[in-house]
Copies of this chain bind each other. A is one copy, B any other.
Amino acid sequence: MNLKELSTILNLSQTTVSRALNDYPEVKEATRQRVKAAAIAHNYRANPRAKGLATGRSMAIGHVIPISTRHEIVNPVFADFIAGAGEIYSRNDHDMLLSVVSDIDEERTYRQLAAKASVDGVIVHGPRGNDPRIKLLKSLGIPFVVHGRASSDDTDYSWVDVNNRRSFERAANLLFDLGHTKIALINGLEFMDFARRRKEGFLAAHTSRRFVANPDFMVSDEMTEDFGYQSARDMLARADGPTAFIVSSMIMAIGVRRAIWDAGKIMGQNVSVIIHDDVLSYLPNGAEIPLFTATKSSVHQAGRLCAQMLLDIIASNDQTPRQTLLETELMLGESTGPLLKA
């Protein structure tokens, strides 16, 4: 069923039908009702390609997901983020175009999206410090929102980020309060913006307590289970090993827990682990928070906010940068499970 057929059925011109469907004010209310009813009755849907051709807009948003060339890793948080964003898109009748590209191909992908004009805007994932993509997208003139931040100057582009710095500072302080003094930081690659900020927060907590962070206890690399395992194992092998860990992702934390286990130190006796990541989405609503999740950053929510912000930018045609900084919650109390004294 296309416009022409529908308009024939209705004994109207394509123009009027189109106008009725798109809520143009000049069409008579009675006509509009009739048209809309017929559209539903005949399961009519405007062909998005024809519409796009005519309007120059695609009603689609692009997500470019970088995948590590070395390890073929897709960060699992993307799944949650995408789910949140997708919710907004479907509500606003937009499509989501996904490109999974190895990091070296990213620039080419963006240029291609721009040249083909296949999307009205893009979400930038996994920003690095001073990310070149920002400049690229600006020069290409595509509206975009960054999930995270990408440089020290955060004011000249749009982003949605979680307060990584504050969250890690608070996590460290919590452990200090419990009496820990030797805390390890298992972090992501330091050229990633989020990792840099998390480390800053971690260090800030030390500074404010006049502690000195042991460089041997701060490691960062691609966030794999194996890296979590290896680094925690090495630290625990030392006589003066850490008594608590703060870990940047769930997947690494699995490795960390395994290392603690292997080391024969049963959690519940003398090692605490705090994880920063949105583990909650894997849990039933209202269920107990697992023992090792103490910091919450709802990636799902970030996805929704990013998507909504981008749609707003596109709809308003106002590219003035906007920013949203999400505060995380420390999940404490009954549902947290034990966080252990040193």
Contact = CB atoms under 8 A, between A and B. Distances in A.
Contacts of A4: none
A300 B67 CA distance: 12
A99 B78 CA distance: 14
A67 B281 CA distance: 11
Contact of A76 (B46, B47, B79, B100): B79
Interface string A54-88: 00001010010101001111111011101100110
B100 A82 contact: yes
A288 interface: yes
A70 B230 CA distance: 37
B100 A86 contact: yes
A101 B90 contact: yes
A97 B111 CA distance: 19
A292 B99 CA distance: 32
A290 B74 contact: no
A79 B83 contact: no
A53 to B, nearest CB: 5
Contacts of A268: 261-262
Contacts of A86: 65, 98-101
Interface stretch (A161-169, A202-210, A237-245, A251-259): A251-259
Q: For chain A, which range describes its interface: under 10, 10 to 19, 20 to 34, or 35 or more residues?
A: 35 or more
Nearest to A227: B284
Nearest to A42: B115
A80 B74 contact: yes
Given A47-B117, A90-B101, A226-B287, A281 B83 contact: no
Nearest to A221: B284
Contacts of A50: 49, 53
Contacts of A80: 74
Contacts of A266: 261, 264, 266
Given A60-B97, A71-B284, 10 more contacts: A47-B117, A49-B58, A53-B53, A63-B98, A67-B83, A74-B79, A90-B99, A95-B99, A98-B98, A251-B282
Interface of A: 1, 43-50, 52-53, 58, 60, 63, 65, 67, 70-76, 78-80, 82-83, 86-87, 90, 95-101, 105, 109, 111-112, 115-118, 222, 224-227, 229, 251, 254-255, 257-258, 261-262, 264, 266-268, 279, 281-285, 287-288, 290-292, 300
